[in-house]
Amino acid sequence: MNTETATKKDSKQTKYLKQAIQLLEKRGYSDIKAELPEYESPTSFTEKTSDKSFTPDLTGTKDSGKDYFQVVEGDKKNIQDVVSKWKLFSNLAKIKNGSFYLLVPYGRKKYTTELVREYNIDAEMMKLER
């Protein structure tokens, strides 16, 4: 990936995260953590079987539960990593009495739905604006 493509991807990711944070604030979430400079970063987790480290894009607390949020990037080359990350966050959310949400940008609903069904991932989907 060249620098221009990476920068474009980062700016879209930032836009989606800021949009999601506004949604969370409107829905009454507290202790919001995000992969953005102006927020505290969410905790990273290491998968024991692979030693890979995963960090959720956002976390927030509501009704005594902690919810995990991940922007769907549509990565078709590393599907096993995507599935591992989503399953990890889904399990963590259950442990913390929360839910796991996939933040789905325009054009990625089919990809997301297929992965969630095929790999039996317990996740709710939230649509993001363009």
75 against 59, higher pLDDT? 59
* Nearest CA among 43, 115, 36, 44 for reference residue 73: 115
* pLDDT of amino acid 77: 86
Mean pLDDT of the chain, nearest integer? 89
pLDDT band of residue 65 (cuts 50, 70, 90) is very high
pLDDT above 50 (res 121): yes
**Section 30-51 average pLDDT:** 89
47 against 107, higher pLDDT? 107
pTM score, whole prediction: 0.88
How far apart CA 95 and CA 120 sit, in angstroms, is 18
Which domains does the chain possess? 3-127 (3.40.1350)
Spatial contact of 111 and 74, defined as CB atoms under 8 Å apart: yes
- Tens-place pLDDT, residues 83-101: 999 999 999 999 999 999 9
